[in-house]
Structure 1
Amino acid sequence: MKQTILSIQPADNVWVALQDIPAGTTLTIGAQTITTLQAIAAKHKVTATDIPKDGAITMYGVLVGLANEDLPAGTLITTKNIRHASGQFAVSENRKTNWTPPDVSAWRDRTFMGYHRTDGRVGTGNYWVIIPLVFCENRNVQLLHEVLTKQLGYQRQHPYENMLQGLLADFKAGKTTSTKDFTETVITPTRTFPNIDGIKLLTHTMGCGGTKDDARTLCGLLAGYITHPNVAGATVLSLGCQNAQIAMLKEEIEKRVPGFDRTVIYLEQQQAGSEKALMTMAIQQTFEGLSKANQQERKPAPLSKLCIGMECGGSDGFSGISANPAVGLVADKLIALGGSVILSEFPELCGVEQELSDRCINTTLAAKYVQLMRDYASSAEAVGSGFDSNPSAGNIRDGLITDAIKSAGAAKKGGSSPVTDVIDYPGRVQHPGLALLCTPGSDVESTTAEVGAGATVVLFTTGLGTPTGNPITPVIKLSTNSKLAARMPDIIDIDTGSIIEGSSTLEQMSDRLLELVIATASGTYKTKAQELGQDDFIPWKRGISL
């Protein structure tokens, strides 16, 4: 029989409904029995004890809220009867870094097929990127991208074109149609360069008009993409007079990979003159660069060369008990194999700061993490907001009532290993192990940042459904519940709802996930986001997003 109710930690005083529970239902966990006073929808929480006004609400063993009124046992918690609250945190001399790695003997000799770079990293793809150094060049890079993808075999005919052709035929024949069936046959053209996985466009709205720090930060992010192991080479178009200068970008590239040796083409419109002159140089030089990059082929690499970004978006009340802990087990296994993992979304680590700080391998890293969290919270408060504003309407509707409830579940994506690095945006992963990367909770901005930091695969959990992808790094989408996987099969790669239903364990699911990661990294599995061409890229303009 499917389980009805769950207590995540023995000390928690609220339980999670695993299915819809009518009012007046008697629920028992261990020696504790309650009767629901209202109907409890699946994913929502019910008080397991009497909680007085201003009393603490605990989930995942941490403070996640305070009661606005007396809450008898069996009460549905809502945004009206509880408010956000989280525990205090500080750097402690007590390091909690003793860790028993999971058994990874079955994975020790496994490999993936990747692109080996001279800096020692291994890519899961081989992409050429076209980048505007300032938003003024967006039109030119879009034109360059259109010409190259169309003529070199990267532009597929979309099935919706077939539908429109049918509608046009009916229109010309004088017929009126409200709906039109269409074939989903997609003709994939032959690529001129078979070892180039794609030509990708990184348009943005920055590069000038902001602060000099904004320009430097943008150049740092773009340098992270240009030097990324999934990138074969790059074409950069500059206007010439903007804040984000070519020299600044070159400095940021050198910081990340000294002596960087992949092809980067720099062209400046104000020096080239006419559009024709600029585009002629861009097309000729990019074609030559693609021809050279096409010579590289996939070769075996150990799993220690993988860097996985952990991300969530459109989270629900099941995220913290199905997909996120399953991803956390993958993190632990990869780290035990010598790989790297990125946990980001700092507003969604609110309430677990002490745990993560204590897991840092030394107090220097712990202090850096604590300071970044405090600075971020202060900057949000300075513009009249705060971390408590992070949960979206969809999050709240599906059981994530406070930011601390959302955060305590989100943090499960990071597993249980020690924290080996703390990185400020737009920095880069330099060490194996678990790295904390300062980003907003906004999933596209955070995914963009994780890839800029070096993630070669992203595991993205969602309970409500979000199509987020990335231009150069495959994003594997995990549904937290089976209803979502059935409703939106075109965006979900793997369904972890079987954990809620009791038909699979976290351990079994983590093994399935790691197999999918290997297939994706080897290019033998294309993620749903890749198939859809979901190439999301949004740089974080610091201080604006939660």
Structure 2
Amino acid sequence: MQLARKNSYIQIHPTDNVLVALVDLQAGTAIEFGTQTFCLTTNVSAKHKFGLTDFAPGDPIFMYGVLVGKACEPISRGAALTVENIKHASEEFKLGSRKTEWTRPETSRFETATFQGFHRADGSVGTANYWLIIPLVFCENRNVDMIREALTEKLGFRKPRGYESEVQAILDMYQAGKTAAEILDADITTFAKTGQSNKIFPNVDGIKYLNHSLGCGGTRTDSDALCGLLAGYITHPNVAGATVLSLGCQHAQASILRAEIEKRDPNFSKPLFILEQQQIGTEEKMLQMALKQTFAGLIEANECNRQPAPISKLCIGLECGGSDGFSGISANPTLGRLSDILVSAGGSVILAEFPELCGVEQELSDRCTNEELANKFMHLMRTYNAKAEADGSGFYANPSPGNIKDGLITDAIKSAGAAKKGGSSPVTDVLDYPEKVSKAGLNLLCTPGSDVESTTAVVGSGANVVLFTTGLGTPTGNPVAPVLKISTNSALYTRMPDIIDINCGTIIEGDESIEQAAERMLDYVIQVASGVIMPKAVGLGQDDFIPWKRGVSL
């Protein structure tokens, strides 16, 4: 019998009847927990769970203090929990009493903290300064691409790293007579540099192109939601102005877009150019107009400079993707602590991904500041899940193969850890996609769990920085808001340094507390918001933009 080393497993909540392995544990390893000593009956991989007791079929399984599953066959104490021996389960929820008392974190270190941002007429402050080129309908994507080709290099805006040099190296070897085997074995690593050259508008961070596949052919609900989302981007604090291309006959009408803009900013004053191809005539004439108007808008956008702003002007989007069994132990609670600090300082945070809040509805609804918000949240959760079930699925089907492989074997396990990103502050508002944040504090936003769709929605609702936790690694970014990738484990941080910005694996290893990691992360966020540090996703040109076609995606 081998005794498990110190810090090789953890109980997350005192009422949990399972432990989480922090390292790979072999069958026969002795586990000492409280007054219990027992041996593992199976191997348990790091990030996975094993029982503190014997389970009979139907017995409840608790993690994070909530129901996350039920046994579907006998499970002995010390055996690994798997998709074969447990199934998703979560508690019913109903309108409860308000539980809005919370312990504010110590924030003296950040009381006078500021970032250098772009101040907008509506009082918001951007962490970047972009111009947008937007198609109102997919028919205009080609014209948007033509504008991209015409402007990017001529205006000196940074292009993402390309692999032309590698292709040239392969071509040179082939023309020199190298065989396929020799080419496969060759090192074609290059040090070709990309970046800005002769940048014409130094105060403009770039032009972003929001190509998409919607605007017509779907339901009017889809096109109205698209107009709301695009209005959220146009009124976003990181955006200086926009050029919009419309065909003219599509569901997503320019008049709907203008109404959605007015809804979000009644005194909207940014430069906005909307061109309708069917009214203007030839493609050439429209594109010439678009280029001239965009250039005029860029001149105005370039007049905006970074100025100091309090961190209360930050609106942080909280996201996760490629999650693992450490997400709810390291990176997510670190975001929760940062969220509480920012809320205490008067800032805003957005917790989204409603399929990944399944099982914690009662806690979150009880934290809503009034019953109206609580009822709205519960209604959105029930309606969304019912729609998913009507389409042949449900929240229970949310975990991906990667999630399951790395320890998130039920949706409730995944959700209970994902909700930790929201900290402990009261819920000040509940938003339905694509509504915009208008209140400081913790906001709940109905979005799918799908990484890019949710990130797209969170930014459309006003997040000027996104914190994105991952245990498996994902390059997800956004066209207008910096997306910082936070690893849940050090192995990922070491393996994928090109996409990971911050490591929270230090918490798993016992080298840092959640509180220390949160303050380190907030310092980093302030540097990013000030334009001092470029996140990896921004450097890679990872401009992911996928509007949510409601009900289709979990």
Out of 391, 404, 425, the residue aligned to residue 396 of structure 1 is: 404
Q: Distance in 2 between matches of 1:391 and 1:3?
A: 27
Out of 167, 192, 216, the residue aligned to residue 185 of structure 1 is: 192
Task: Give the structure 1 partner of residue 206 of structure 2.
Answer: 198
**Unpaired stretches in structure 2, ≥5 consecutive residues:** none
1:534 aligns with 2:537: no
Give the counterpart letter for 2:140 in structure 1. Answer: E
Q: Distance in 2 between matches of 1:193 and 1:372?
A: 44
**Unpaired stretches in structure 1, ≥5 consecutive residues:** none
Correspondences of 1:425-464 after superposition (within 5 Å) = 425-464=433-472
Q: Distance in 2 between matches of 1:339 and 1:224?
A: 19
What is the CA-CA distance between 1:329 and the residue it aligns to? 0.3
What is the CA-CA distance between 1:180 and the residue it aligns to? 4.2
Indicate how the Cα distance of structure 1 residues 24 and 173 shifts in structure 2: closer, same or farther if over 3 A, else same.
closer
Contact 2:115 2:308 in 1 (8 A): yes
Indicate how the Cα distance of structure 1 residues 135 and 63 shifts in structure 2: closer, same or farther if over 3 A, else same.
same
Contact 2:105 2:344 in 1 (8 A): yes
TM-score (norm 1): 0.98
Task: Give the structure 2 partner of residue 375 of structure 1.
Answer: 383
Indicate how the Cα distance of structure 1 residues 537 and 187 shifts in structure 2: closer, same or farther if over 3 A, else same.
closer
**What is the root-mean-square deviation in Å for CA atoms of aligned residues?**
1.1
Out of 111, 115, 129, the residue aligned to residue 108 of structure 1 is: 111
Q: Distance in 2 between matches of 1:114 and 1:513?
A: 18
Task: Give the structure 1 partner of residue 60 of structure 2.
Answer: 56
What is the aligned-residue identity percentage?
Answer: 61
Contact 1:159 1:184 in 2 (8 A): no
1:30 aligns with 2:34: yes
What is the CA-CA distance between 1:29 and the residue it aligns to? 1.9
1:468 aligns with 2:476: yes
Out of 134, 142, 149, the residue aligned to residue 146 of structure 1 is: 149
What is the CA-CA distance between 1:32 and the residue it aligns to? 2.6
Contact 1:320 1:409 in 2 (8 A): yes
What is the CA-CA distance between 1:157 and the residue it aligns to? 7.1
Q: Secondary structure at the match of 1:28?
A: strand
What is the CA-CA distance between 1:185 and the residue it aligns to? 3.2
What is the CA-CA distance between 1:171 and the residue it aligns to? 3.7
Indicate how the Cα distance of structure 1 residues 66 and 254 shifts in structure 2: closer, same or farther if over 3 A, else same.
same
1:5 aligns with 2:9: yes
Task: Give the structure 2 partner of residue 70 of structure 1.
Answer: 74
Q: Secondary structure at the match of 1:460?
A: strand
1:513 aligns with 2:521: yes
User: Mean alpha-carbon deviation: is it higher for 530-539 or for 145-154?
Assistant: 145-154
Contact 2:152 2:159 in 1 (8 A): no
Give the counterpart letter for 1:511 in structure 2. Answer: E
Task: Give the structure 2 partner of residue 361 of structure 1.
Answer: 369
What is the CA-CA distance between 1:190 and the residue it aligns to? 2.3
User: Mean alpha-carbon deviation: is it higher for 445-454 or for 157-166?
Assistant: 157-166
What is the CA-CA distance between 1:273 and the residue it aligns to? 1.4
Q: Distance in 1 between matches of 2:257 and 2:387?
A: 27
| 1:137-157 residue CA offsets vs partner (Å, 9 max, x unmatched) | 000001111211111011437
Correspondences of 1:147-546 after superposition (within 5 Å) = 147-156=150-159, 158=161, 160-176=163-179, 177-178=183-184, 179-188=186-195, 189-546=197-554
Give the counterpart letter for 2:438 in structure 1. Answer: Q
Give the counterpart letter for 2:331 in structure 1. Answer: A
Q: Distance in 1 between matches of 2:9 and 2:240?
A: 50
What is the CA-CA distance between 1:160 and the residue it aligns to? 1.8
What is the CA-CA distance between 1:167 and the residue it aligns to? 2.5
Contact 1:344 1:437 in 2 (8 A): yes
Contact 1:46 1:74 in 2 (8 A): yes
Q: Secondary structure at the match of 2:201?
A: coil
User: Mean alpha-carbon deviation: is it higher for 269-278 or for 148-157?
Assistant: 148-157
User: Mean alpha-carbon deviation: is it higher for 343-352 or for 168-177?
Assistant: 168-177
Q: Distance in 2 between matches of 1:45 and 1:526?
A: 37
Q: Distance in 2 between matches of 1:364 and 1:37?
A: 49
Give the counterpart letter for 2:77 in structure 1. Answer: A
Q: Secondary structure at the match of 1:301?
A: strand
User: Mean alpha-carbon deviation: is it higher for 170-179 or for 334-343?
Assistant: 170-179
Q: Distance in 1 between matches of 2:159 and 2:248?
A: 34
Give the counterpart letter for 1:103 in structure 2. Answer: E
Out of 108, 116, 121, the residue aligned to residue 118 of structure 1 is: 121
Contact 1:167 1:180 in 2 (8 A): no
Q: Distance in 2 between matches of 1:51 and 1:480?
A: 30
Contact 1:471 1:535 in 2 (8 A): yes
1:129 aligns with 2:129: no
Indicate how the Cα distance of structure 1 residues 87 and 492 shifts in structure 2: closer, same or farther if over 3 A, else same.
same
Number of aligned positions between the proteins: 545
Q: Secondary structure at the match of 2:275?
A: strand
Q: Distance in 1 between matches of 2:424 and 2:141?
A: 43
Q: Distance in 1 between matches of 2:52 and 2:198?
A: 61
Contact 1:2 1:502 in 2 (8 A): no
Contact 1:309 1:341 in 2 (8 A): yes
